[in-house]
Amino acid sequence: MRRLLAAAMLLVAFDSSMAEAPEEPANQIAFTLGRTFIGNQSVANTSVGNNVVRAGRGLSFDFAYARQLKRLSFGSLALELPVVFDPDEDLSYGANQVPLQYSSFFVSPSARLNLAPDPVISPWLSFGGGLAHFQGSKELLFGGTNPGPRVNMSSALQFGAGFDLHVPWKYSRARLRVEFRDNWTGEPPLRVITGSNRQHNYYIGGGIVYGF
């Protein structure tokens, strides 16, 4: 009987601590570390045997700021500014025509919908658009100077999804984040003609979020 009473008291105390948890902060900053994945692109009308441009899986970073606009019955709506930076995306191709590597960053103001922001796990969806910036290396793949053009800018359409995991400390404003983002942009300055003028840049990463 005493054990049942003690268990009941612990359950009530746990429920009370959850009820006293602070509301969702109005501002958030986030940093995640991950990889960017890009599909292969074929080059048409060429005599090169290996006529497919392949990209590596560049180590990438996402910095994001979000401002909550409205609390909803099922979550919250926020504006966010994600900036995804890939400093070194290696390339491979069958001829010395493409850059050795290129860098990219995407800035995409977006609307973010958080579902059930107060529980332990808070899933979210993000959609928006902005700008993409690509810069090719000074060197070609197998040596020599890249004659250019080396820079290309385009529009970017961004879709994101992920979840934030509350850390166990009762009053902590820090959370863990796992996220996926797809920036649909123009092509980097590859110096070859592929079958498409746009590409998907898939980013998968994990990191930390801090609310204030």
Average pLDDT for the chain: 88
Residue 3 lies in a domain: no
3-state SS class at 4:
helix
> Domain containing 166: what range?
26-211
Q: Which of 15-24, 80-89, 165-174, 196-205 has the lowest mean pLDDT?
A: 15-24
CATH number, domain containing residue 200: 2.40.160.20
- The pairing of strands 198-211 and 174-186 is antiparallel
Residue 1 lies in a domain: no
Residue 196 lies in a domain: yes
Residue 5 lies in a domain: no
Query: Could you tell me the two tokens for 87?
Result: 């400093």
**Ramachandran angles phi, psi of 103, nearest 5°:** -115, 160
Instruction: Tell me the mean pLDDT in the region 148-157.
Output: 96
pLDDT of residue 207: 98
Number of domains present in the structure of the chain: 1
CA 176, CA 39: separation in Å to the nearest integer?
29
Residue 203 lies in a domain: yes
CA 44, CA 173: separation in Å to the nearest integer?
52
Confirm if 69 and 79 have CB atoms less than 8 A apart. yes
Instruction: Tell me the mean pLDDT in the region 169-181.
Output: 86
**Band of pLDDT at residue 18, cut at 50, 70 and 90:** very low
- Residue 21 reports pLDDT greater than 90: no
Residue 13 lies in a domain: no
Residue 18 lies in a domain: no
Residue 14 lies in a domain: no
Using a pLDDT cut of 70, give the percent of the chain over it.
86
- Give the pTM: 0.85
Residue 115 or 158, more confident: 158
**Band of pLDDT at residue 77, cut at 50, 70 and 90:** very high
Cα separations in angstroms, 111 against 73, 119, 131: 17, 21, 16
